[in-house]
Structure 1
């Protein structure tokens, strides 16, 4: 994932079984910036968590008919459907039931490390095109469960960064589980970000200008076993099973975190075709294959391999 390597005012804490960080260019504004981010995270969880039966999304799914949803949930679902369209369906939010079938039916930290084998599904009968969102009217077909995890975290990083800058007037970097968004004026020389998904992966440090976002998707960070088989959370919408492990991780830089995450997640699903598609997409990407080799596409930011000083 992407983490921070900056000597500026930073707050770090755990949320959603991952890390959250806020860095500001005005030290006196760190505490109110964190408060704004924490409130936004809480609102997003109530809106769309698939692990809460009382979330707004869970209630809408149980109804199985058109329902008027909050502006926040409409934006979250809209972003997921937009990512599906951009990726030609390789990032599909209708995989919630498939993830649950594979054992990812609760917070990743609470999943049992192993369990009985999981059945391989016959061809999936639904896709993102079966979900309708017209303004704030959401229709989820009966029996379909949405998983917004591929886009909600990244969109939330974008929202949080924008909110802090608008409310407090400071330059800010927000990191949620390695998904990074920036807003406002950055520090002199740009933001310094360390990219390394797992300790055994090749590290790199990049400097990016204000307004740049970075997202990392991985086939090794969120894993569990079923029937002795190693599974991960990035599913191929064609099969409802984990995508092939051509890449250990893919990191993408773009102008919005939700766009970066769309491309990084789709690249894992696309496997051997990922570099070709990324090369046409206009984004910069860094891919680490299963042998630890690094491949760069589209003008990856200037780098210094290895660790640098805080």
Structure 2
């Protein structure tokens, strides 16, 4: 069953564009309030740019077992699940690696410094770490002293899933939550499905290849890209997708990867992990059978798992 009526809200959050589409226009305000509440909870739990964020409290930073809120527990567990599912390609212990690359403040401030000609990042002691060092039991979290978690690879996708779930449960209308390319849809879809344009930034010599897909049912889409969050660091251009095995930005086999799955956090794990894994990333995604679209460094587009043609249903 579908409906032709929808209402949309768009706004900036976390340095990206968020949007919400619902199939009952009269409930848009209520649905937007749910999304805002979820985003506020996630931000308070794990924003690396908030001095009062729960994840960076004194007890956790000192390596002590610390009781944490259900929201942070959900976010940490999702990050650890992603690390295990990707064999460590998507690992939350890269916080100090990102700081060492100059991503030590909100991305808008990083870009402002770039525009001002400031390119040198801070000097940071980086500890060798991986997800197996993190301990989660019941409502406690233990992070070794000196290890800084960064949940950015999964938290946005988790937030999209949580918001869409709550809207479906509490309001009952169809809803699609889009947080900068991490998209989660639940419930009744509009006529023709949820229409999603898959495209990244313009690049030298032309625009990033684009395609339109339509989704129905409970589904999600995640797009990971090396093009969007770039900055200058010590005379070179770097991006935010770090290979945990090297501590450096992932090499350029793929510039954009998009995956369709039931939950956004699963799609995001695959899309980000594929960029880190390089050529092996395509085989990894193909093994899941999920629809995916990979754009190589030279612009070549590869569809796997029955990736749909324009206007075709992907799920």
TM-score by length of 2: 0.91
Partner Cα separation in structure 2 for residue 213 and residue 44 of structure 1: 19
Tell me the SS of whatever aligns to 1:259. Answer: helix
Equivalent residues of 1:214, 1:253 under 8 A apart? yes
Alignment match of 1:224 (pick from 223, 227, 231): 231
Specify which of 246, 253, 264 is matched with residue 239 of structure 1: 246
C-alpha change, 1:30 and 1:45, in structure 2 (3 Å) is same
Superposition pairs of residues 285-296 of structure 1, within 5 angstroms: 285-296=292-303
SS at match of 2:270: helix
| Superposed displacement of residue 118, structure 1 | 7.9
Post-superposition shift, 1:85?
A: 0.4
Mean CA deviation greater in 55-64 or 77-86: 55-64
For residues 215-254 of structure 1, what are the alpha-carbon distances to aligned partners after superposition, in whole Å with 9 as ceiling and x for unaligned? 0000110010112200000000001110001111000000
Normalising by the residue count of structure 1, what TM-score does the alignment of the two structures yield? 0.92
Whether 1:263 and 2:292 are equivalent positions in the alignment is no
Q: How far, CA to CA, are the matches of 1:53 and 1:159 in structure 2?
A: 24
What secondary structure is seen at the aligned counterpart in 2 of 1:39?
A: helix
List 4+ stretches of structure 1 deviating above 4 A: 117-122
Measure, in 1, the Cα distance between the counterparts of 2:298 and 2:5. 33
Shift of residue 100 of structure 1? 0.6
Q: Which residue of 2 aligns with 1:40?
A: 38
**Structure 2: how far apart are the matches of 1:249 and 1:121?**
31
- Equivalent residue for 1:3? none
> Distance in 2 between the 1:207 and 1:302 partners?
10
- Corresponding residue for residue 116 of structure 1: 120
Aligned to 1:133: 136
Report the 3-state secondary structure (helix = DSSP H, G, I; strand = E; otherwise coil) of the residue aligned with 2:52: coil
What SS does structure 1 have at the residue aligned with 2:93?
A: coil
Distance between the aligned counterparts of 1:118 and 1:160, measured in 2? Answer: 35
For 2:227 and 2:149, locate their aligned partners in 1 and report how far apart those are by CA, in whole Å: 23
Conserved? CA contact 1:250–1:286, under 8 Å: yes
185-194 or 225-234, which moves further after superposition?
185-194
Change beyond 3 A, Cα 1:121–1:90: farther
- Determine the structure 1 residue equivalent to 2:149: 146
8 Å CA contact 2:227, 2:239 repeated in 1: yes
1:83-136 CA distance string (max 9 Å, x none): 0000011000000011011100111111121423788999x6210100011121
1:61–1:144 CA contact under 8 A, matched in 2: no
CA contact (8 A) 2:83 2:131 kept: yes
> 8 Å contact 1:161–1:174 — kept in the other structure?
yes
Partner of 1:53: 51
> How far does residue 15 in structure 1 lie from its aligned partner after superposition?
0.3
Unaligned runs of 5+ in 1: 1-5, 306-310
Aligned to 1:172: 175
Separation of aligned partners in 2, 1:26 and 1:13 = 19
1:22-74 per-position Cα deviation (integer Å, ceiling 9, x unaligned): 10000001111111101110111001111111100010532311001000000
Gaps of 5+ in 2: none
Could you tell me how far apart the structure 1 residues matched to 2:122 and 2:105 are? 16
Q: Does 1:161 align with 2:164?
A: yes
Question: Does the C-alpha gap of structure 1 residues 296 and 68 become closer, same or farther in structure 2, counting only changes over 3 Å?
Answer: same
Task: Give the Å deviation of 1:188.
Answer: 2.4
- Which residue in 2 is equivalent to 1:308? none
Whether the aligned pair in 1 keeps the contact of 2:102 and 2:121 (CA below 8 Å) is: no
